[in-house]
């Protein structure tokens, strides 16, 4: 009987809840879904009820919060995209100027008498 108690206590100590909390998350990620089923989707985005005459329910706080987060993220994406475009354009202009300077430096140089400075007359 004592051996059974020790065996049970060892078995209980080995029980972990973390695997159960993440159950199916790998499959959901492979399917292109959220790791957490309540992260997004029709169950979280659509209203729970509507009026009998067909009007939609007013948005809930969570829906408004998620909408504000998405709008904030979209504004940040647009801002960063504009910054990247401006940076790329400035870099291209700089590269063109450097290329023109390099061509001028490496261009053919005049030869002959026109390069000789006139000798001072004594």
- Compute the mean pLDDT over every residue in the chain, rounded to the nearest whole number: 81
Say if 14 falls within a structural domain. no
pTM of model > 0.75: no
Residue 34 lies in a domain: yes
Residue 61's pLDDT band (cuts 50, 70, 90): very high
Does residue 33 sit within a domain? yes
Residue 102 lies in a domain: yes
Say which residue, 93 or 51, is predicted with more confidence.
93
pLDDT at residue 73 in the model: 97
Range of the domain at 98: 26-106
Better-predicted residue by pLDDT, 118 or 36: 36
Q: Is residue 121 part of a domain?
A: no
Q: Are 16 and 28 in contact (CB under 8 A)?
A: no
Instruction: For residue 5, give the DSSP letter.
Output: H
**Local structure of residue 50 (DSSP, 8 states):** B
Is residue 60 a part of any domain in this protein? yes
Any domain includes 115: no
Instruction: Report the domain count for the chain.
Output: 1
Q: Is 7 inside any structural domain?
A: no
């Amino acid at each position: 009987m004592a051996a059974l108690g020790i065996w049970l206590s060892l078995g209980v100590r080995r029980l972990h809840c973390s695997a159960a909390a993440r159950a199916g998350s790998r499959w959901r990620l492979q399917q292109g879904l959220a790791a957490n089923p309540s992260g997004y989707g029709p169950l979280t985005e659509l209203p729970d009820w509507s009026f009998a005459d067909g009007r939609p329910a007013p948005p809930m706080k969570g829906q408004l919060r998620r909408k504000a987060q998405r709008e904030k993220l979209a504004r940040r994406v647009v801002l960063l995209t504009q910054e990247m475009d401006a940076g790329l354009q400035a870099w291209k202009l700089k590269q063109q100027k450097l290329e023109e300077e390099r061509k001028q430096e490496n261009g053919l140089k005049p030869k002959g008498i026109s390069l000789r400075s006139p000798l001072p007359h004594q």
